[in-house]
Structure 1
Amino acid sequence: MGTVFNKKELLVLLQDFHCLTGLRSAVFDSYGIEVLAYPPELPAYCRLIRSVPDGKTGCYLCDQAACRKATRQKQTIIYPCHAGLIEVITPVQIDGAVVGFLLLSHIVQGADEQSEWSYAQKCCSAYAIDKTALQKAYNVLPHTPYPVLKSAADLLALAAAALYQKGLTRLAAGSAQEKLSRYLAEHLDETLTNETICRDLSLSRTGLYYLSRQLYGCGINEQITHLRIQKAMKLLCDTNLSNAQICQQIGFLDDNYFYRVFRKQTGLTPRQYRDSILADTAKTE
Structure 2
Amino acid sequence: MYNNSKIYLTICKFVQKRGISLPILLDKQHFSELFTDLNIVTGLKISFFDENFNPILSHPKEDCKFCSLIKNNPYGNLKCTQAIKNAFLKCQKTKKDFSFTCNAGLCETVIPIIEAEKIIGYVLFGQTAENKDFSFLWEICKSLGIERQAFDKASSSLNVMSKNEISSACQIIKMCVQFRLFSESISASRSQQITAFKEYISNNLSSELTVSKICKQLNVSRTTLYELVKEELGTGISEYITLKRIQRAKKLLLSTNMSIAEIAEAVGIYDYNYFSKYFKAKTGLSPSKWRTLT
Report the TM-score range of the alignment, normalised by the length of the smaller protein: 0.5 to 0.7
Deviation at 1:41, TM superposition (A): 1.3
Aligned residue for 2:56, secondary structure, equals strand
Distance 1:33 1:49 in 2: 21
Distance 2:80 2:120 in 1: 21
1:84–1:121 Cα contact (<8 Å) kept: no
Aligned twin of 1:8: 29
Shift of 1:28: 1.4
Distance 1:24 1:147 in 2: 18
| Residue of structure 2 equivalent to 1:165 | 182
Using the alignment, how far apart are the partners of 2:89 and 2:178 within structure 1? Answer: 18
Q: 1:31 to 1:122 in 2, by over 3 A?
A: farther
Which of 1 and 2 has greater Rg? Answer: 2
Equivalences, count:
162
Q: For the structure 1 residues 4 and 128, does the alpha-carbon distance in structure 2 shift closer, same or farther, using more than 3 Å as the test?
A: farther
1:74 is matched with which residue? 95
Q: Match for residue 156 of structure 2?
A: 139
Aligned to 1:109: 130
Length-normalised TM-score, structure 2: 0.51
Q: CA deviation at 1:163?
A: 4.6
Any idea what the Cα deviations from partners look like across 1:175-200, whole Å, max 9, x if unmatched?
xxxxxxxxxxxxxxxxxxxxxxxxxx
For 2:88, what is the secondary structure of its paired residue?
Answer: helix
Q: Give me the whole-angstrom Cα distance separating, in 2, the residues matched to 1:160 and 1:67.
A: 18
Shift of 1:47: 1.1
Q: Secondary structure at the match of 2:159?
A: coil
Residue 171 of structure 2 is aligned to residue 150 of structure 1: no
Structure 2 match to 1:57: 78
Task: Give the C-alpha shift of residue 146 in structure 1.
Answer: 2.8
Name the amino acid aligned to 1:137.
A
Q: 1:128: how far off?
A: 1.5
1:44-66 CA deviation, whole Å, 9 max, x = no partner?
Answer: 11111111111111121111111
Distance in 2 between residues matched to 1:91 and 1:162, nearest whole Å = 15
Deviation at 1:99, TM superposition (A): 1.8
What do the CA deviations read for 1:46-100 (whole angstroms, capped 9, x no partner)? Answer: 1111111111111211111111111112122221111100112100112122121
Shift of 1:126: 3.7
Equivalent positions of 1:237-248 (< 5 A) are: none
Residue 120 of structure 1 pairs with residue 118 of structure 2: no
Task: Please report the TM-score for the alignment, with normalisation by the length of structure 1.
Answer: 0.52
Within the candidate set 82, 104, 107, 1:83 is matched to 104
Distance 2:28 2:182 in 1: 15
SS in 1 for 2:182: coil
CA distance in 1, matches of 2:96, 2:102: 18
How far 1:4 sits from its partner (Å)? 6.6
Preserved CA contact (<8 Å) 2:25 2:184: no
Question: For residues 73 and 63 of structure 1, what CA distance do their matches in structure 2 show?
Answer: 15
- 1:5 is paired with a residue whose SS is coil
Q: Is the 8 A contact 1:70 1:91 kept in 2?
A: yes
Q: Distance in 2 between matches of 1:4 and 1:82?
A: 34
**Unpaired runs of at least 5, structure 2:** 1-23, 186-294
Q: Report the equivalent of 1:26.
A: 47
1:255 aligns with: none
Identify which of 38, 44, 50 aligns with 2:59.
38
Distance 1:135 1:66 in 2: 28
Distance 2:138 2:159 in 1: 17
Show structure 1 runs of 4+ deviating over 6 A: none
Tell me the C-alpha RMSD between the 2 structures.
2.0
Superposition deviation, residue 157 in structure 1: 2.2
> Which residue identity lines up with residue 15 of structure 1 in the other structure?
T
